[in-house]
Structure 1
Amino acid sequence: MLETNAVDNVHTGGYLVNVSLLYYNHSGVRVPLSGAAKSSVIVYREAIDSVNRQKPKNSLNLYESPADLIIPISGIRNKGFWFRIESVSDVHSKGIQIPRNTQKAVLEVYVSFHGNDEFWYSNPPDSYLRMNNLTTERGHGAYREVFVTIDDNLVGSVVPFPVIFTGGFNRLFWQPVVAIGAFNLPSYDFDVTPFLGLLLDRKIHIFGLGVIDSIPFWLVDANLHLWLDHGSSAVEAKTVEPHFPAVSIQRRSSFKLLNGSFKIVAKRKNQFMGWVRSSGCNLTTHVSYEFKFRSSVKFKENGTYKSVVQTVKTKTQVKVVSEIGSLVNRASVKGNYPLTIVSSTLPGSKKKYILDSNECLSFSEREIVERLLFVLCI
């Protein structure tokens, strides 16, 4: 039994919302969404000059203030500015020239899944579909991983939160409320400050987005947040050799006809560091991303009973130290989002059926932040 969603004139449509925007700088900074790289660089340079005139110099307040520049990494206008990903090899990218006085950079990634991958966390492997002659294309297993690259080098990855959109599994569940994230997709932050040593060379660098094991289709884009050194037109930076081991993944499957069991265990830990010498200080940033993934999908009763149990645990650590080794900032965020779905189809009367569903989904994060109020730079 594979899930379907309601797509018709009754249950599908658009809605109107009112949006309030908060601008941090009264004069604003406008960055074009399209156009030649050369013209974009000119606008960035003008924006930098404008921001530098407004901001205090030698500020080390990198984690409490908004970014000075936000550069979109997205598709074209007639596709809603989204990159559309159809397969694991479908990596979309954009070239960006980073201002030379950038002292901190964070990439904020947005992602949503649709079509045959809307319920990716419950998909069986392709072998199950072939052996049972099923016409559905919702397969390829129940593991997906969103990744970010710079110049074709991996700089971060994450297993996305399993958002259930309205109508998913049992449309009666979502009246009058919707599932977690259905109207407010979570975003994923990647601190790429340690890579500034590779980016501040006046060259255009390629930022890429992709999804491991994906099938049609995913929508992804990102915002690159940049904090500038207002006391200098250029900073020095160096990237230390990053540590990006391949994902460790184990798959076990067994099935007979429409009954089967499919289990996946995966984990990954990425670590990297780099230093930036600005007009305020020489700071070294250490970043660590780690996740552990477990999934179990089972079919019983000739495929009319299905259970999904998935657990994703994440841990992100960012530590900033001064040139003399004193701690400036340390942040640790632990995330946990378990998912349990049990669904069965029972025969009813007059050619109808009864759909019995039980779903449990949660999202929790715990953050620990340490800050040094005074930093001595020599």
Structure 2
Amino acid sequence: MQRLPFLSGPPKKLVAMPASSHLLLCLCLALVSGLATASPSPRDLRRFSAGDIAAVEATLPRHRRSSGTTFFEVDRPLRPPKGSSGPCSTLLLSHSFAFTLTKPPVTAAYSPPSCLLGAGASVSLAVLEWRAECRGVQYDRIFGVWLAGVELLRGSTAEPRPGGVSWSVSKDVTRYAPLLAAAGNNATLAVYLGNLIDDTYNGVYHANLTLHLYFLRRAAARPSSPAPADVVVPISRSLPLNDGLWFVVQNSTDVQSTPVSVPPNAYRAVLEVYVSSHYADEFWYMNTPEENGPFREVTVLLDGDVVGAVWPFPVIYTGGINPLIWRPITSIGSFNFPTYDIELTPFLGKLLAGGDHEVGFAVTNAQSSWYVDANLHLWLDAKSSKTTAGLIAYDAPKLSGSIVSRSADGIDGEYDATASRNITATGWVSSPSRGNVTTTFTQRMSFANTNVVSSHGSAQAINQTTDAVTTVVFAGEQKQEVHQSFPLYIFLGGDGSGTSSQRLMRRVEIGFDESRSGGAETSTLRNRQAAAAEVTVKDDAVVGASWRMHQTYAYSDSDGGGCYVRNVSSVGYDVLFDHRDASCDGALVGR
């Protein structure tokens, strides 16, 4: 048995790859590259080629091959609060993304819609809608949307079919309402989608981006949720670029940072972090010790000090593990990546000290590459020109973690990784109109991953759980708490190895569970998927495939108006049943 500490040095040397998206790896690196020394099976399905997918399509009836398909990610519908008017809808951008790899983002001038500038009303809900379609052959691609450098949306595209595929994303962007209203005339809207067109991959992504706004009269009772920040400051790269505005973290020692300054009358600061994994780390949760292990942590640095951490949800892109699994129900978070909030209010004393301060990002154990940027949400005291602040206590012990390796031959074996992290900070902020308010920010996180490799490296089973609890306490009384849990199980294997006929099997069980509480507000989300696929190969040719998906989604909140339950199942491209309930009369599905 060999016990290894988490890596702090650079990873093994990697072949240079383009910095756009996961491109050539996005069609499911099903078995980790660290097992390449294993005895090869007759067919290495770590990547499904365009020919493999075409062979599966050829087994379908002709009318099924030629018909278009709508892919969808299960999420609750966005509804404006009672008494809202709207929507006021504005098409922000319409573009066909052909050969856009390593080219500048597509840009458009943005001016606040006239309805947003009207007096006597305030935004009750803002929705950013992405609608796209594609026909032909193409990989999944990563795209991002930025306004004045602030990232509004990140997702992966659907992989097209010969008959075409369409999908849409609706994201609640109400927290950016002040930015949407304050962005001056001809502010830049930027969209990057690094697509490749060649002799094989001919799919062009046609996309429309639309903003929908709903309003309440200012005199009407506002929703109970906190008001959005007064200012949103981008923590991203600046145009011009031949890539997205995200920072690219290349390895475990790489730190990407940028200077930032805050208005002198800020009294609260929250950093919203966007993160996605690519290339050698797209399937980081499947990595063996030779690939820096399966644990990844995105650390947020302020002038070099760790002030918060993100333990990311394992988003599986629409081409991951086996692309067929995610048709037509896509993986959790694949069209709308989750973001993560870090409370920086205890550190306002440093940020308000004058001059620029460096906000940076690093990724523990990283291989190339991770795309990371952030938005700094700032609340300002309108009745004061200056606030004062200071740090009372700060404790960020070194990350605790290890990998235990049990392998007799260096190939088959069991690899167990664990990690834990605690961060806490307390600070005060004072202004004439708000008085002196103390804020305490705490993060408590744990991680466990078991990776069992067998059958001479041709089978792999992953069991992983991530738990994170974030607590913010204001003035010793008002408390906000977010508890997230990300269970993950993956099995990769098959039978018939060494013969002319094989069955390649994939199973995925994944969940995103979250509970939020703050004052009188509470919400609970339980989102679970169980999927499986089998691909039959004969004489090195794909001759058939079958796949299925079952998903349960249950959300409830203390308002009673945001409850939503959905139970949906599919086999192949057919949706067997799709039960939805917005009444919240019954118990949560899967509880």
Give the TM interval when normalised to the shorter protein: 0.7 to 0.9
2:139 corresponds to:
12
Cα distance, 1:177 vs structure 2: 1.3
Change (3 A) 1:27 1:73: closer
Asked if 2 retains the 8 angstrom alpha-carbon contact of 1:6 and 1:12, the reply is no
Cα distance, 1:19 vs structure 2: 7.2
Task: Tell me if 1:67 matches 2:221.
Answer: no
1:291 corresponds to:
445
CA deviation vs aligned residue, 1:320-346 (integer Å, no higher than 9, x gap): 01xxx6x2x211111111000111032
Task: Tell me if 1:2 matches 2:32.
Answer: yes
Identity of aligned residues (%): 34
Cα distance, 1:283 vs structure 2: 0.6
Cα distance, 1:349 vs structure 2: 9.8
Asked if 1 retains the 8 angstrom alpha-carbon contact of 2:250 and 2:367, the reply is yes
CA deviation vs aligned residue, 1:48-68 (integer Å, no higher than 9, x gap): xxxxxxx9xxxxx99700111
Change (3 A) 1:120 1:210: same
For 1:349 and 1:263, locate their aligned partners in 2 and report how far apart those are by CA, in whole Å. 30
Asked if 1 retains the 8 angstrom alpha-carbon contact of 2:486 and 2:512, the reply is yes
Aligned-residue RMSD, C-alpha: 2.7
Change (3 A) 1:348 1:243: closer
Gaps of 5+ in 1: 34-54, 56-60, 127-138, 373-378
Gaps of 5+ in 2: 1-30, 34-45, 51-135, 142-156, 158-165, 189-217, 522-591
Structure 2 counterpart of 1:158, from 305, 310, 314: 310
Task: Tell me if 1:89 matches 2:253.
Answer: yes
For 1:171 and 1:93, locate their aligned partners in 2 and report how far apart those are by CA, in whole Å. 35
Higher relative contact order (CA 8 A, sep 6+): 1
Task: Tell me if 1:314 matches 2:468.
Answer: yes
1:37 corresponds to:
none
CA deviation vs aligned residue, 1:71-91 (integer Å, no higher than 9, x gap): 111124322101111101111
TM-score (norm 1): 0.81
Structure 1 counterpart of 2:508, from 342, 349, 359: 359
> Could you tell me which amino acid in structure 2 is paired with residue 276 of structure 1?
V
CA deviation vs aligned residue, 1:170-207 (integer Å, no higher than 9, x gap): 12101101111111111110000000011102210000
Task: Tell me if 1:169 matches 2:199.
Answer: no
Asked if 2 retains the 8 angstrom alpha-carbon contact of 1:101 and 1:229, the reply is yes
Structure 1 counterpart of 2:182, from 23, 28, 31: 28
Q: Secondary structure at the match of 1:66?
A: coil
1:104 corresponds to:
268
Asked if 1 retains the 8 angstrom alpha-carbon contact of 2:140 and 2:318, the reply is no
Structure 2 counterpart of 1:272, from 425, 428, 431: 425
Change (3 A) 1:63 1:207: farther
Asked if 1 retains the 8 angstrom alpha-carbon contact of 2:425 and 2:441, the reply is yes
Cα distance, 1:354 vs structure 2: 1.8
Cα distance, 1:18 vs structure 2: 7.9
Asked if 2 retains the 8 angstrom alpha-carbon contact of 1:5 and 1:167, the reply is no
Asked if 2 retains the 8 angstrom alpha-carbon contact of 1:5 and 1:168, the reply is no
Change (3 A) 1:224 1:277: same
> Could you tell me which amino acid in structure 1 is paired with residue 427 of structure 2?
G
Q: Secondary structure at the match of 1:98?
A: coil
For 2:514 and 2:258, locate their aligned partners in 1 and report how far apart those are by CA, in whole Å. 31
Q: Secondary structure at the match of 1:240?
A: strand
TM-score (norm 2): 0.52
Q: Secondary structure at the match of 2:313?
A: coil
**Stretch of structure 1 that moved more, 181-190 or 255-264:** 255-264
